[in-house]
Amino acid sequence: MTRKKVTVVGGGFVGSTTAQRIVERELADVVLMDIVEDMPQGKSLDMAESAPCIGFDSAIIGANDYSMTANSDIVVITAGLPRKPGMTRDDLLQKNAEIVGSVVDNVAKYSPNAILLLVSNPLDVMTYHAWKRSGFPMKRVFGMAGVLDSARYRTFIAMELDVSVKDVQAMVLGGHGDTMVPLPRYSTVAGIPITELISAERIAAINERTTRGGEEIVKLLKTGSAYYATSAAVLDMVESILLDQRRILPCCVHMNGEYGLRDVYCGVPVKLDHEGVAEIVELKLSSDELAMLHRSAEAVRENVKKLNY
């Protein structure tokens, strides 16, 4: 059986860790692509040499030439400038739009049937940009955000209650930034809503920490941003696609009337299968929750306008 092929564009911490997770899980053969000469080749060789110890057979190579990424099934785009202390995701907008635009042009040339999975910040805007630039169907262009934000929410809930994170499920909608929308009503521990287990005051504090989750890590690291949880979130999505698991995961997708939103990319729960976004799942939101989701989407829309769309 021929293995699937995944290209990860961007050989920094997020990209290289994502590549490592995919090959170690034996989901696909991987190309780690970066414009820095020899760097992705060195990282890929190092990973390949770990295979005898870890015990995986998937192949990984590094590349500086997009021709080596040809016919990829999925292209994960992590390329771009990382956040630094005091920098918002929006500060990255113009520069990363140039970088992502160039990446998408090359991907569309060499892998016209690929699924594009965006990780570059500001996430929601870059995903819209990639969709417009590529001309790909919207079901094949989406972003990783909600899986990461929900993972942070689940972590903080488990910490608060001193329980196994395995029993915690959580849902975070909206843009990947300060306007994200944690949903306590749809967040549970062993099926029990957290609203029955945690006080409203503590839930508010956990919501706030989740919203600032990326910023908290940037401040602690001082010279970079999160990559362990980020790459793990990408892995969840890649696995659901390649194994046709049809998992329901919160992802940044194009809205076409769902939740009353149109022509904007925003985080909502979707079913992921081998073709990409199989279905957008519409939750029954309260008027307050829906208003917060619309405010979050409007913040994305305002940033998209800065790219002259």
Query: Is residue 10 a contact partner of residue 78, using CB atoms and an 8 Å limit?
Result: yes
Query: Is residue 146 a contact partner of residue 188, using CB atoms and an 8 Å limit?
Result: no
DSSP type of residue 82: P
Active site residue 176: yes
- Token couple for 256: 């076409």
b/e 253-290 (16+ beta carbons within 10 angstroms → b) = bbbeeebebeebbbbbbbbbbeebbbebeeeebeeebb
Q: Distance between CA 85 and CA 105 in Å, rounded?
A: 31
- Token couple for 293: 């989701």
Which H or E element spans position 302?
helix 287-305
Of 172, 141, 140, residue with least CA distance to 268: 172
The active-site residue, picked from 176, 254, 274, 294, is 176
- Token couple for 77: 């785009």
Active site residues: 176
